[in-house]
Amino acid sequence: MRNSRLIKLPFWLTYLFLYLPILVVVIMSFNASANLFVWRGFSLEWYPAVFADEAITTGLRNTLIVASLVTLLATALGTLLAVGIHRYTRGGLVRAFAIAPALLPDLLLAIGLLSLFSLLGVTLGLHSVVIAHVTFAMAFVTAIVLARLASLDPNLEEASQDLGAGAMRTFMKVTLPQLAPGIVAGALLSFTLSLDEFVMAFFTAAPTTPTLPIAIYSMVRFGVTPEVNALATMLLFVSVLTVIGAQRLTRVTDSL
């Protein structure tokens, strides 16, 4: 069916709206001037400057530590959970429970975890951020792996068990290799989610161990420096690469 001009206008407006702000940040990251709004010619000076800023480098280091641990834990837990749900549960209750953290307001989970840590006397730090991030990253891994499982041929697993392989052996030799693309996609998404997540980290990080988004938040609140543009551009690049990678491995848009 042909698209009339009437609906093509909002279509292009949407893309203009979505990409204009990103374009502004990227262009201004190459600005020779320290003025955030006036273009004074091309320069790469802000890129090395990012790595000279202590708030940014500390935040970046913390974020990378958290994101790596979250990726490992969420991927392992989420994959096992998805296989368990697919193989052993009938009703959607366990499934709903596993996916819920992705749907619940992050604010609710964040204050809930803060309350729990406080009640148990757990000091906040990177470990509490890791726990917070694992809860929802796991939900995304579970959802993606479940989608992948649904498309697999159940006969292969049955054949393996009929031939005498136990549950674990079947899982390692038959199920896992077939799930690999979904698992890698889940891992990539966990990494991106953890890298960008702010609200949960805001409540569960210690003031001494801020993650990168927390560092950006305070920078944006208390006066922006041109390095933020360069940092933003680099982060955009990493996120986009990761998501495109995940997208190619599994059709994420279908499973979410």
Site for another protein in 48-107 (CB under 8 A): 76-78, 80-81, 83-85, 87-89, 94, 97-98, 100-101, 104-107
How many other C-beta atoms are found inside a 10 Å radius of the C-beta of residue 117?
19
| Letter string b/e over residues 26-49, b meaning 16 or more CB atoms within 10 A of that residue's CB | bebbbbeeeeeeeeeeeeeebbee
Q: Which is nearer to another protein, 208 or 221 (CB)?
A: 221
Q: Which is nearer to another protein, 42 or 102 (CB)?
A: 102
| Residue whose CB is less far from another protein, 53 or 196 | 196
Give me the half-sphere count of Cα atoms (radius 13 Å) on the Cβ side of residue 152.
22
Q: How far apart are CA 176 and CA 149, in angstroms?
A: 10
Task: For the CB of residue 75, give the shortest distance to another protein in the complex, in Å.
Answer: 11
- Tell me the closest approach of the beta carbon of residue 177 to another protein, in angstroms: 17
| Residue window 127-146: x/- pattern of binding to another protein, with contact defined by CB under 8 A | ----xx-xx--x---x----
> Token pair 């599994």 is at which residue?
250
Q: Minimum distance from CB of 66 to another protein (Å)?
A: 15
Least spacing, CB of residue 196 vs another protein, in Å: 5
Distance CA 23, CA 29 (A): 10
19-27, 48-56, 143-151, 179-187 -> range binding another protein (CB under 8 A): 19-27
For 160, residues 6+ apart whose C-beta sits below 8 A from its C-beta are: 169, 170, 173, 174
Comparing CB distances to another protein, the nearer of 49 and 80 is 80
Q: In whole angstroms, give the CA distance from residue 190 to residue 168.
A: 25
Residues 147-176 that bind another protein (CB under 8 A): 158, 161-162, 164, 166-168, 171
Residue type, 237: F
Concatenated DSSP letters of 208-241: TS--HHHHHHHHHHT---THHHHHHHHHHHHHHH
Closer residue to another protein (CB): 15 or 42 = 15
Instruction: Find the part of the chain contacting another protein (CB under 8 A) among 42-50, 53-61, 64-72, 237-245.
Output: 237-245
Number of residues that bind another protein (CB under 8 A): 93
Q: Which of 34, 116, 156, 176 binds another protein (CB under 8 A)?
A: 116
In the bound complex, what is the minimum distance in angstroms from residue 45's beta carbon to another protein? 18
Q: Which of 141, 152, 176, 150 is nearest to 252 (CA)?
A: 141
Q: Decide whether 138 or 187 has the Cβ nearer to another protein.
A: 138
Q: Which of residues 209-228 bind another protein (CB under 8 A)?
A: 213, 216-217, 220-221, 224, 228
